[in-house]
Structure 1
Amino acid sequence: MVSSSSSGVVVMDANVVALHRGYDQTFQAREQRLINTLAGYSELLVSFSGRLESCYSMDLCRASGVRFRAITLDNPTLSRQSVARAERYCRHYGIPHQVLKTDEMIFSAHLGHLAEVTDPVRYLCQQLEHEEGPPLLMSASVEEKREYLRRFHSLPANTLWIFAEQGMTNRDFRYGFHQRQLALWGDVGEACLSRRFVDMASLDRRHLRMVDMAEQMLVDMGLGGAQVFFHTLGDRVTTLARIRVPERLRALVFDMQPTIQKALRSAQFDLVTLDLATLEDPHPLVI
């Protein structure tokens, strides 16, 4: 819901919870500035991958009252969970949603050790034929904008990087996501499946599908938040799924080991192992 003061400033009225009293005050002031900035546009396109940052930016767009359309670039590196989350969110709130499907591997996580990667923002703009019309809002943090400029040197025309420009860090996005209780749409990990590969030589469409299928199987078992990392043994042929889970799921996963191994082998993994290193739990937030 959005209301306006007598001065014409948009006033936020959202379902939020206080997580840290001292930090909340500063954060909410900046969040209100962001909402007011978004309200100043007549229409926007919003890049919406279903990841944490884009869920939060969509919520601020709704709070601002701006007219907007969500755009999801569905490609082999984007998890099916993220696409489904984006579709559920837009369907629930009646948001116009355009899904652009491509077989091109687009890395939203900028992998510095790869010699050549497709510029994800310019690729999206090309698919939209986005030279004129409403600007495209990018849900990028300060860190992400800095890395984007390091890799691609300039920002595409007719794109908005409002969140980064107003100082939103990765930590701030995560705080806002939990404050607005957006986790009800599902656990949000790293949406770009390329992060699940240690050896980039193994990264191809078939192996991406194996990881994606395995993670979806774990979700169906009630293990939302688990991540599957792809490895091969020394022969470069035998595949290994290394499962990493939040601490809160550790005991459950131990009890379910036979079921999990059977399921992931059906996803064409030869071996399955549980990583004893604890995955950062997406629910608790420490300031």
Structure 2
Amino acid sequence: MGIYDKLDNLKTIIKNQKSAVVAFSGGVDSTFLLKVSAEVLGTGVVAVTAHSSTYPERELKEAIEFAENNGIKHRVITSEELEVEGFSDNPVNRCYLCKNELYEKIKAVADEEGMECIFEGSNVDDLGDFRPGMQAVREHGVVSPLREAGLTKEEIRALSREMGLKTWDKQAFACLSSRFPYGEKITRERLRMIDLAEQFLLDLGFRQVRVRFHKDIARIEVTRESFEKIIEPEIREKIYTEFKKIGFMYTALDLKGYRAGSMNEGLSQADKA
């Protein structure tokens, strides 16, 4: 099926739902989904963004601006994962605990707004990684239009570019809790350290970054194309000095480079079951 056939299929899936609340993070996928949903359903769409200590302020600001600029009704709710029992212990099913609480709160918004269903923005590429949060999607009856339409990340970026969406080449983003090895305690202070460290790298001009938390060690992931820049003496010294101020004793560069879900690499099949 071609990319435009998939787009037509997406519009049909959305239209069949009549009205929806869109779980809107401001990332590539949810921005594209929200834009198409608003075009198809008009005022039958409400965007909902959850604000918490795992969600950087820069992402919230971008989500608010997009909704305002496109005339889409937007609700910002508080969904503090650290208050969910067991979440801060960072178990393997952490994402399920988060999404379960999130969709309960979004369902309440949908009921208040008189919307028939909830949309979330996963695509077919997401099926290849360990994503326990998808269990919550199923349990709450959340609709995944991009996945149902068969759209890949690359296709979503291409269509977003054609539609003039600034997010078409936005770096991939995942909640800050994904920066911790499973079993490592997640705290507000540690989340703040990760947020500050990643923002510093972004301010230096690196586009796709992850700072993984290993107690006193910050493990930096950037694209391999950025390796030459990050090891330049001046840049390297700036990063080391700033990360020391943030609270990291040591700073390391991951030689494999950026990849999504690197904290899942040590999981066995039994862990994922």
Inter-partner Cα distance in structure 2 for 1:115 and 1:121: 10
Inter-partner Cα distance in structure 2 for 1:45 and 1:115: 24
> Helix, strand or coil for the counterpart of 2:212?
strand
Match of 2:139 among 155, 164, 168: 155
Inter-partner Cα distance in structure 1 for 2:252 and 2:94: 31
Inter-partner Cα distance in structure 2 for 1:71 and 1:141: 19
Give TM-score scaled by structure 1 length: 0.71
**How far has the Cα of 1:117 moved from its partner?**
4.9
The answer to whether the 8 A contact 1:52-1:174 is kept is no
Counterparts of residues 19-98 of structure 1 (less than 5 Å): 26-67=2-43, 68-98=45-75
The answer to whether the 8 A contact 1:240-1:272 is kept is yes
Q: Which moved more, 1:64-73 or 1:185-194?
A: 185-194
Matched AA of 1:197: F
Structure 1 residue ranges (4+ consecutive) displaced by more than 6 angstroms after TM superposition = none
Q: Which moved more, 1:245-254 or 1:85-94?
A: 85-94
The answer to whether the 8 A contact 2:120-2:144 is kept is yes
Inter-partner Cα distance in structure 2 for 1:81 and 1:138: 21
The equivalent residue for 2:155 is 175
Spell out, residue by residue over 1:156-210, the C-alpha distance to the aligned partner (whole angstroms, 9 max, x if none).
Answer: 25x4333333344xxx134212442277346332322222112432322221111
Change in CA separation of 1:62 and 1:98 when aligned onto 2, cut-off 3 Å:
same
Match of 1:165 among 121, 140, 148: 148
Change in CA separation of 1:117 and 1:161 when aligned onto 2, cut-off 3 Å:
closer
Change in CA separation of 1:250 and 1:85 when aligned onto 2, cut-off 3 Å:
farther
The equivalent residue for 1:139 is 121
Matched AA of 2:160: R
Spell out, residue by residue over 1:240-276, the C-alpha distance to the aligned partner (whole angstroms, 9 max, x if none).
Answer: 1111111232222122111111222222212112222
The answer to whether the 8 A contact 1:80-1:216 is kept is no
**How far has the Cα of 1:145 moved from its partner?**
12
The equivalent residue for 1:275 is 254
Q: Which moved more, 1:119-128 or 1:41-50?
A: 119-128
> Helix, strand or coil for the counterpart of 2:55?
coil
| Identical counterparts, % of pairs | 20
Unaligned regions of 5+ residues in structure 2, if any?
261-273
Larger-Rg structure: 1
Inter-partner Cα distance in structure 1 for 2:165 and 2:245: 29
The equivalent residue for 1:240 is 217
**How far has the Cα of 1:217 moved from its partner?**
1.5
The equivalent residue for 2:180 is 197
Q: Is 2:230 the partner of 1:230?
A: no
Structure with the higher helix share, 1 or 2: 2
> Helix, strand or coil for the counterpart of 1:72?
strand
**How far has the Cα of 1:211 moved from its partner?**
0.5
Inter-partner Cα distance in structure 2 for 1:150 and 1:210: 28
Inter-partner Cα distance in structure 2 for 1:62 and 1:145: 29
**How far has the Cα of 1:138 moved from its partner?**
1.6
Spell out, residue by residue over 1:115-144, the C-alpha distance to the aligned partner (whole angstroms, 9 max, x if none).
Answer: 895251453333652473202212233529
Spell out, residue by residue over 1:66-119, the C-alpha distance to the aligned partner (whole angstroms, 9 max, x if none).
Answer: 322210111222233432332232233232221112333379xxx872489525
Change in CA separation of 1:95 and 1:88 when aligned onto 2, cut-off 3 Å:
same
The answer to whether the 8 A contact 1:42-1:66 is kept is no
> Helix, strand or coil for the counterpart of 1:202?
coil
> Helix, strand or coil for the counterpart of 2:193?
helix
Unaligned regions of 5+ residues in structure 1, if any?
1-24, 233-238, 282-287
Change in CA separation of 1:149 and 1:211 when aligned onto 2, cut-off 3 Å:
closer
Counterparts of residues 95-134 of structure 1 (less than 5 Å): 95-105=72-82, 113-114=92-93, 117-118=96-97, 120-126=99-105, 129-130=108-109, 132=111, 133-134=114-115
- Two-structure CA RMSD over aligned residues (Å): 3.4
**How many residues of Structure 1 are paired with residues of Structure 2 in the alignment?**
245
